[in-house]
Amino acid sequence: MGPLARPPAGRRGRRPGRRVFGYVLIAIGFLNLVSGLGLQGFWLALIGLFLVNAATAEEQQTQIDAALHGITVGEVMSRDPVVAHPDETVAGLVDRLVLRHHLSTYPLLDDDGRFVGLVTLGRVRRVPPEDRPITRLRDIACPPSDVPAARPGDQLTELLQRMSGGADGRAVVLDDDGHLVGLVTPTDISRTIQTVDLRAREPYRTPRGADLAPPPPGD
């Protein structure tokens, strides 16, 4: 994996300026409020707060993008996901898989092994208990067209941009033949961010044993 990417200097410079300007607007808005210009002060403070939050969010996103630079989807994905059939009922999924595997996401594969949808626990919970024995998974699944798809060799940062607009915040990983080989979930992303510093450099090797022993005479 290559060195961590750095955001362009122009973007780095704009964020602090936007944040400072936001704080200035908040201060002016507060002064207007205490001076009796209620509505005008309120809107200035609100605009200032928006600018501060936007600058902070942009900075956090840039830091994440830089930290994940060079990491591929295949390094992050959960391999060999537990799958279900689209004609299985919601009750069947709960009894057969959910209570057994305790996972939050289940891809649906048809008889030919093609990916035809994605079911999450959130979608399962939205089905009333009395309807679960008669509701098929295909009827509640997120359709393939709404699920971001990637190849194992794709860059993770590129996939994250598409996942942010996805219906369920998940992505499927397909091989060159279109077969499901993995999933990328919020848990996978969180785990990667937490361990990215371990990926970025060789771990420090603490001297021990023979490393601490004095060299033999004559060396």
Q: pLDDT tens digit string along 178-190?
A: 999 999 998 888 8
- Reported as a single tens digit per residue, the pLDDT across 83-94 is 999 999 999 999
- In this structure, the dihedral spanned by the alpha carbons of residues 103, 107, 111 and 114, taken in order and rounded to 10 degrees, is -150
More confident residue, 96 or 40: 96
- Output the pLDDT for position 39: 65
36 pLDDT higher than 60: yes
Residue 10's Cβ-side half-sphere holds a number of Cα atoms within 13 Å equal to 0
65 pLDDT higher than 60: yes
Query: With b meaning 16 or more CB within 10 Å and e meaning fewer, what string describes 77-112?
Result: bbeebeebebebbbbbbbeebbeeeebbbbbbbeee
Q: What is the pTM of this model?
A: 0.64
- Output the pLDDT for position 148: 95
Give the mean pLDDT of the chain.
Answer: 79
Residue range 43-67: mean pLDDT, rounded: 71
Residues in the chain: 219
- Output the pLDDT for position 49: 80
Helix (H, G, I), strand (E, B) or coil at 208: coil
Percentage of the chain exceeding pLDDT 90:
46
The token pair at 194 is 């937490």
- Output the pLDDT for position 213: 40
- Name which of 7-21, 103-117, 168-182 the model is least confident about: 7-21
- Output the pLDDT for position 62: 67
Secondary element (H or E) of residue 108: strand 105-109
- Output the pLDDT for position 88: 98
Under the banding of pLDDT at 50, 70 and 90, the label for residue 29 is: confident
Residue 89's Cβ-side half-sphere holds a number of Cα atoms within 13 Å equal to 11
- Reported as a single tens digit per residue, the pLDDT across 130-156 is 999 999 999 999 999 999 999 999 999
